Amino acid sequence: MSSGIISEEEVDNLKSLKDNIKQAYDLYSILCKRENSFENLLEALHQTRQSGALAILRNGVNRRLRSDTVDDLKSIKYDKKSVLGEGSLQTLVYKGEFGGRTVAVKRVKTDSFGGNGKLIDNEIEVLKACDRHENIVQCFGSKNELNAVLIILEMCDMTLKEWVARKDIEIAPVEVIRQVTVGLSWLHEQNIVHRDLKPENILLTRRPIKVKLADFGMSRSLVDGRTYVSAESAIGTKGWIAPEVLNQMLPIVPANVKCLIGG
């Protein structure tokens, strides 16, 4: 700037500085409300496009929650009168408290699976392996009760089915589809197939606005380089089973073919 004329590079630097100052001011303004401080901080970082800081903070909190699992699991609280949702095989989801925050507590009755705990363990293992992605519902741990297992999940605001009916979270349908696709892509990169994807198993949060895949009870891991799961073990939900899986499930009716040759 020795000539008294600002260069294009200096103009860009000034614009960048102005944007940074505005981001800092916006962040400060939101935090000054002093209510729901943690939620406001997450929202502020989201609004001011500080995605790196947001990811670091969320991951740090989740690691802290998991590091305290041994002690905190003893103090899980949930209200059986506050049912958030109901699944198949007598599975209920309650509103609860864990690690000083509101959570969803999924209670799975073990006798509903004929005493086979492998299906429940499978869901927990899949969640632990994949929930570090922002489009997968987060799992904070699990606890055994008498004839039941509690799975502690992050609290979301509504299912996709509820959102379609109410539309009270401002997000474009195409963005919902994009985030679902990103979540599925992440699962497939981990060699996991969901097998029960439907509106009730897709959740939305308001702060920040995110779409998350949930309910991995029917999910399976692909082994030996396979790109499919046998239809013999497929359950899913009627009306939402993938067409290629349905084709494998269709009964094969033997045909009685007669050939008449005229002489």
CA torsion angle 117 119 120 126 (round to 10): 140
Q: Active site residue: 19, 26, 121, 196, which one?
A: 196
d(CA 111, CA 120) in angstroms, rounded, equals: 11
The yes-or-no answer on residue 79 being catalytic is no
Q: Three-state SS for 97?
A: strand
Place of tokens 């909190």: 61
Two tokens, residue 97: 């408290």
User: Residue 196 is inside which H or E element, if any?
Assistant: none
d(CA 111, CA 145) in angstroms, rounded, equals: 12
Report helix, strand and coil shares of the chain as percent, to nearest 5.
Answer: 45, 20, 35
CB 200 within 8 A of CB 239: no
d(CA 80, CA 144) in angstroms, rounded, equals: 16
Q: What's the residue count for the chain? A: 263
SS (H, E, C) 154-190: ECCCEEHHHHHHHCCCCCCHHHHHHHHHHHHHHHHHC
Active-site positions read 196
